[in-house]
């Protein structure tokens, strides 16, 4: 599939298992982004929410690539475009992960200090039930 002689060809991917794998991969990216959007709450939403945009974007671009390959659209149907999509996903996810790795410990320390400070603040009065 990624033979360098076929890298800039505009032939449709005739290898059926590769086509099915790409359909499943791009669908899985969209499904994961939707699951994060719908199911993650609270702290998990903050952590995983940054991955929603790359997964949706790359999933949609992948389906556009597969459609362009099927229709033989010029410049969009070559395998180099598929390589660019995968490379963009890899770089995007790597950048987000490095950024999260650098900022997450700082946020945890800040939250721990805030929780310790809030521990000694007076609580509101409880209302009596009638």
The pLDDT of residue 56: 92
Percent of the chain with pLDDT over 90: 9
* pLDDT beneath 50, residues of the chain: none
The pLDDT of residue 31: 94
Q: Which residues of 29-56 are buried (b: 16+ CB within 10 A; e: fewer)?
A: bbebbeebeeebeeeeeeebeebbebbb
The pLDDT of residue 11: 62
Task: Kindly report, residue by residue over 53-75, the tens digit of the pLDDT.
Answer: 888 998 998 898 888 877 877 77
| Domain map (residue ranges) of the chain | 4-116
């Amino acid at each position: 599939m990624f033979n360098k002689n076929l890298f800039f060809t505009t032939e449709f991917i005739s290898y059926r298992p590769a086509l099915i794998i790409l359909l499943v991969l791009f669908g899985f990216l969209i499904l994961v982004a939707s699951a994060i959007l719908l199911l993650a709450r609270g702290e998990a939403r903050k952590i995983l929410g940054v991955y929603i945009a790359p997964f949706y974007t790359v999933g949609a671009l992948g389906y556009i690539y597969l459609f362009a390959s099927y229709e033989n659209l010029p410049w969009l149907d070559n395998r180099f475009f598929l390589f660019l999509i995968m490379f963009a996903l890899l770089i995007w996810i790597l950048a987000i992960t490095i950024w999260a790795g650098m900022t997450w410990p700082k946020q945890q320390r800040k939250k721990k200090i805030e929780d310790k400070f809030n521990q000694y603040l007076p609580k509101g009065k409880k209302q009596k039930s009638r």
